[in-house]
């Protein structure tokens, strides 16, 4: 039968209860006021498998004639998002891709991901991308803001959560 699954995201705690060397219970504590306001979104956590042939097609759309043999993550930003990758092509070509074009080149929802080389039996080898989010990682997350609103947070709470250090106030139109 199917085993129960536990989905943890940053901000969640997990307590394990043991009796001798046997796990008898696991208690997940969800931090509803933590960083996981977007946990109900299908893009909160995602995985994508891309075969080498699929990646070659994607790379050739952006860099005609390059192809694909290997991928290397060169840099990550402060948020952990991939900032720069190196792609090795079929004939020794090397292409480095930075920023938002990484998403388009690899056909992934966000640049907050890990990449793992896989060679499954009876399937073409490729890469498994496991990530979080859908966007650029700057400013307000629409799904997260919606999640906060559903939990009773005000627009002031939401704006100050996503834009730290801001001061909310009224602006008067010139001449009034």
Q: Which of 104, 76, 71 is nearest to 89 (CA)?
A: 71
How far is Cα 147 from Cα 164, in angstroms, rounded to an integer? 18
Give the pLDDT confidence score for residue 171 in this predicted structure.
86
**Residue 53, number of CB atoms within 10 A of its CB:** 13
- pTM of the entire predicted model: 0.64
**Residue 111, number of CB atoms within 10 A of its CB:** 26
Give the pLDDT confidence score for residue 137 in this predicted structure.
63
Cβ within 8 Å of residue 174, ≥6 positions away: none
Q: Token pair 């989905």 is at which residue?
A: 7
Question: Would you give per-residue pLDDT tens digits along the chain (176 residues)?
Answer: 666 666 666 556 778 888 888 888 877 666 555 455 666 666 677 889 999 999 999 999 999 999 899 999 999 988 788 999 999 998 889 999 998 899 999 999 888 899 999 988 888 999 999 987 766 666 677 777 877 887 888 988 888 888 888 888 888 888 76
Give the pLDDT confidence score for residue 149 in this predicted structure.
83
Q: At what angle do helices 142-150 and 155-162 cross, to 10 degrees?
A: 140
Enter the tokens of residue 43.
């893009």
Alpha-carbon 140 to chain mean position: 15
């Amino acid at each position: 039968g199917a085993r129960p699954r536990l989905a943890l995201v940053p901000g969640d705690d997990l307590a394990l209860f043991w009796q001798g060397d046997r796990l008898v219970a696991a208690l997940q504590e969800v931090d509803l006021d933590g960083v996981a306001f977007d946990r109900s979104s299908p893009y909160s956590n995602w995985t994508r498998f891309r075969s080498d042939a699929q990646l070659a097609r994607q790379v050739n759309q952006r860099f005609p004639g390059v192809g694909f043999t290997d991928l290397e993550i060169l840099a990550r930003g402060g948020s952990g998002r991939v900032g720069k990758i190196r792609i090795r092509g079929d004939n020794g070509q090397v292409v480095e891709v930075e920023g938002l074009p990484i998403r388009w080149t690899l056909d992934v929802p966000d640049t907050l991901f890990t990449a793992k080389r896989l060679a499954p039996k009876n399937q073409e080898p490729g890469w498994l991308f496991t990530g979080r989010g859908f966007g650029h990682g700057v400013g307000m997350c629409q799904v997260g803001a919606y999640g906060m609103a559903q939990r009773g947070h005000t627009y002031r709470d939401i704006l100050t959560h996503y834009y730290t250090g801001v001061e909310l106030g009224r602006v008067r139109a010139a001449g009034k």
